[in-house]
Amino acid sequence: MQSISGIIYLILGACLLPYVFTIIAKKAGGFRAQDNQNPRAFLARTEGLAARAHAVQQNSFESLPLFIAAVLMAEYMVVPQRLVMTFGIAYLVCRVIYGICYLKNWAALRSVVWLLSILCPVSLLLLIIKLTS
């Protein structure tokens, strides 16, 4: 069996990344203790940088199931670990760059990086299909 610790770190990093953008959104939006009564309503009212950081957070959570499923399936199907790690690290790097592009309001580049990030787990799944055919 392959070493699982690298896979666990990949999944942990992907799961924690949205919270980085949550903190940025709240900080940029002027979040106060009283806003904690309904933080989702607070974030929905934000504009500018705070609203973009909130959007990154939401999109990051939305892409997690595909990434986690692809990595776990690749591990289960015994895809070479170097490939799983390569696609996993590429996904994380792309997601960080995607977040930066979103925060900077670089829409066109953001879309390209989003596509690259999604291609990482999709490529893993296609590799699994090829290996099992």
- Tens-digit pLDDT profile for residues 72-124: 999 999 889 999 999 999 999 999 999 999 999 999 999 999 999 999 999 99
Q: What is the mean pLDDT of residues 10-20?
A: 96
Segment among 9-13, 34-38, 88-92 with least mean pLDDT: 34-38
Instruction: At 20, list the tokens.
Output: 């980085």
Q: What is the mean pLDDT of residues 23-44?
A: 89
pTM given for the model: 0.92
Instruction: At 116, list the tokens.
Output: 């690259």
Which domains does the chain show, CATH number per domain? 5-132 (1.20.120.550)
* pLDDT recorded at residue 1: 45
Assess contact for 122 and 73: CB atoms under 8 A: no
**Whole-angstrom distance, CA of residue 120 vs CA of residue 96:** 14
